[in-house]
């Protein structure tokens, strides 16, 4: 198999709110949108981030229509975790988990958008174990 692109698709109540949050605070750009749908990207993210309105008629399979993006964490590895923390605080972003450093070297914090989508920013204080991305 050859993978030519990747995307993460999340069901949210307010597609516009999540899209605006990602554009304003994380530098994503809108590639396409329609009623209840928006696809965002960043050249350095390696995937598109798609938001679908909960209950969207075209969503398949049927069992996904009323599920929300709960229990999902979108993680980004960054170069300067402290600068990103300060920047997002200054921008008024709700910090869910203040900066913590795990014994294995992962330094991270978590924020949430207005729909409750959790984003985790990570900086490795030393190289992560082989095969670990975040």
pLDDT per position as a tens digit, 68-108? 666 678 999 999 999 999 999 999 999 999 999 998 889 99
Q: Are 22 and 42 in contact (CB under 8 A)?
A: no
The pLDDT of residue 67: 59
Are 122 and 106 in contact, with CB atoms under 8 Å apart? Answer: yes
Query: 96 in helix, strand or coil?
Result: strand
Percent of the chain at pLDDT above 90? 61
pLDDT of residue 59: 60
CA distances from 64 to 36, 101, 102 (A): 14, 35, 34
Strand pairing report for 48-53 and 106-112:
unpaired
pLDDT of 50-73, one tens digit each? 999 987 776 655 555 555 666 678
Q: What does the pLDDT read at residue 131?
A: 64
- pLDDT score at 55: 77
Q: Which two tokens stand for residue 43?
A: 């050249």
The predicted-structure confidence for 22-44, as pLDDT tens digits, reads as follows: 999 999 999 999 999 999 999 99
Residue 128 pLDDT greater than 70, yes or no: no
Q: What is the pTM of this model?
A: 0.82
Size (the chain), residues: 134
Instruction: Give me the pLDDT at residue 5, please.
Output: 85
Q: 9 - beta bridge partners? A: 50
**Summary mean pLDDT of the chain:** 87
Residue 4 has what pLDDT? Answer: 81
């Amino acid at each position: 198999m050859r993978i030519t692109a990747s995307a993460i698709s999340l069901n949210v109540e307010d597609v516009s709110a999540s899209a605006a949050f990602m554009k304003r605070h994380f530098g994503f750009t809108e590639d396409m949108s329609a009623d209840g749908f928006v696809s965002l990207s960043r050249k350095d993210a390696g995937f598109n981030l798609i938001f679908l309105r909960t209950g969207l008629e075209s969503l398949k399979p049927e069992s996904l229509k009323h599920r929300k993006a709960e229990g999902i964490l979108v993680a980004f590895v960054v170069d300067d975790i402290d600068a990103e923390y300060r920047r997002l605080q200054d921008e008024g972003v709700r910090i869910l988990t203040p900066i913590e450093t795990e014994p294995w070297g992962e330094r991270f914090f978590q924020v949430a958008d207005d729909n409750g989508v959790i984003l985790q920013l990570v900086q490795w204080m030393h190289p992560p174990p082989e095969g670990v991305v975040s």
